[in-house]
Homo-oligomer: A and B are copies of this chain.
């Protein structure tokens, strides 16, 4: 294995792929990054057995080959490359040298044959989605993804395809997110659970890209292609909760407020109670105003936001953090908040016709 490639491109690729490298793995090979020189390309890949990231860059290949370099040090070393041309060469089968200018790095490698293979995906159900739509899909569902290891199903996002529509649902017992997006080139309807952690990685890979992302899903795995990067991961096994019954269908109060003003008020009121066991803030909607208040032994914070209120007055308490996380994930200028009783969840959605809603459970006051 011997090749030359662009140092900056190599550094970028290693930086992206390196996110799949396990920090301290039980299996040392998983601390490595696999390099494969083949067909005029250098394929850079890493996996922690849960997610798999692969990126391909152009290379001038003198001899083909494959090896596994130590991920952390190799990544940090190439991140410092300033030269545009670097030469990689595998010596004696277990040493990778990287030459640039007068400088040489030489790293002890591992055998590529011991590195886990990428999962083989049945290429059937295939669709594409605009990067912007996928970004919004993840931004809204990630808010409500569960963190509890004892309920692995809730640590994922339910992704349902019906016709040209992709629906995402996440819930953690306190909040629920639901969002619909339009997709292209769809094959079959399906219903799978994608781990929240994978969606976080995909969110980073999508970045501020403005193109399209293609997605392949089979029974156990899924694969996402974003520009020159391929991401693959396992689906969550199991059936998702029947969430439809949680969503209330009648409301007694509808409130429309400016999103940023309400978010800011919740954030400020929440400051006081952020170290309390429950970050309790009270929302009091009456007389064209929503008052958000918090209080404890340190003091009292009271914020007021102008609102359009329909229906009866309501005073209801929330965990400030849950409310704030939801508000932060919304881009609309105005939102509609629908309340039922003081004990039933409220619905937060765009004041216009939006493609999403959030449900937030109140805190029962003693």
Quick one: closest B residue to A300, CB to CB? Answer: B106
Q: Which residues does chain B contribute within 8 Å of A82, judged by CB atoms?
A: 264
Is A299 in the interface zone, CB < 8 Å from B? yes
Q: Which residues does chain B contribute within 8 Å of A272, judged by CB atoms?
A: 73, 77, 105
Quick one: closest B residue to A303, CB to CB? Answer: B103
A201 CA to B178 CA, complexed, in Å: 48
Distance in Å: Cβ of A99 to nearest Cβ of chain B: 10
A300 CA to B97 CA, complexed, in Å: 9
Check A304–B102 contact: CB distance below 8 A: yes
Check B268–A302 contact: CB distance below 8 A: no
Check B304–A103 contact: CB distance below 8 A: yes
Distance in Å: Cβ of A274 to nearest Cβ of chain B: 9
Q: Using known A-B contacts A268-B77, A268-B80, determine if residue A106 contacts B301 with beta carbons closer than 8 Å.
A: yes
Distance in Å: Cβ of A96 to nearest Cβ of chain B: 8
Quick one: closest B residue to A82, CB to CB? Answer: B264
Q: Which residues does chain B contribute within 8 Å of A26, judged by CB atoms?
A: none
| Complex interface bits, A253-278 against B, C-beta within 8 A gives 1, otherwise 0 | 00000000000110110011000000
Residues 43-101 (chain A) with a chain B CB within 8 angstroms: 70, 73, 76-77, 80, 82, 95, 101
Check A108–B298 contact: CB distance below 8 A: yes
Check A299–B73 contact: CB distance below 8 A: yes
Q: Which residues does chain B contribute within 8 Å of A107, judged by CB atoms?
A: 298-299
| Complex interface bits, A290-321 against B, C-beta within 8 A gives 1, otherwise 0 | 00000101111111100000000000000000
Q: Which residues does chain B contribute within 8 Å of A304, judged by CB atoms?
A: 101-103
Distance in Å: Cβ of A321 to nearest Cβ of chain B: 15
Q: Which residues does chain B contribute within 8 Å of A268, judged by CB atoms?
A: 77, 80, 103, 105
Check B302–A104 contact: CB distance below 8 A: yes
Quick one: closest B residue to A106, CB to CB? Answer: B300
A101 CA to B298 CA, complexed, in Å: 22
Contact pick for A302, options B103, B267, B271, B302, CB 8 Å: B103
Q: Using known A-B contacts A77-B271, A268-B80, determine if residue A108 contacts B302 with beta carbons closer than 8 Å.
A: no
Q: Which residues does chain B contribute within 8 Å of A102, judged by CB atoms?
A: 289, 303-304
Distance in Å: Cβ of A347 to nearest Cβ of chain B: 26
Distance in Å: Cβ of A253 to nearest Cβ of chain B: 21
A303 CA to B73 CA, complexed, in Å: 16
Check B80–A267 contact: CB distance below 8 A: yes
Q: Using known A-B contacts A73-B271, A272-B73, determine if residue A299 contacts B80 with beta carbons closer than 8 Å.
A: no
Quick one: closest B residue to A292, CB to CB? Answer: B103
A267 CA to B105 CA, complexed, in Å: 13
Quick one: closest B residue to A306, CB to CB? Answer: B102
A95 CA to B343 CA, complexed, in Å: 33
Residues of A within 8 A of B (CB): 70, 73, 76-77, 80, 82, 95, 101-108, 264-265, 267-268, 271-272, 289, 295, 297-304
Closest 7 CB pairs of A and B: A107-B299, A102-B304, A106-B300, A104-B302, A103-B303, A105-B301, A106-B299
Q: Given contact pairs A73-B271, A106-B300, enumerate 17 new A-B contacts (beta carbons under 8 Å).
A: A70-B298, A70-B299, A73-B298, A77-B272, A80-B267, A80-B271, A101-B304, A102-B289, A102-B303, A103-B265, A103-B301, A103-B303, A105-B272, A105-B300, A106-B302, A107-B298, A107-B299
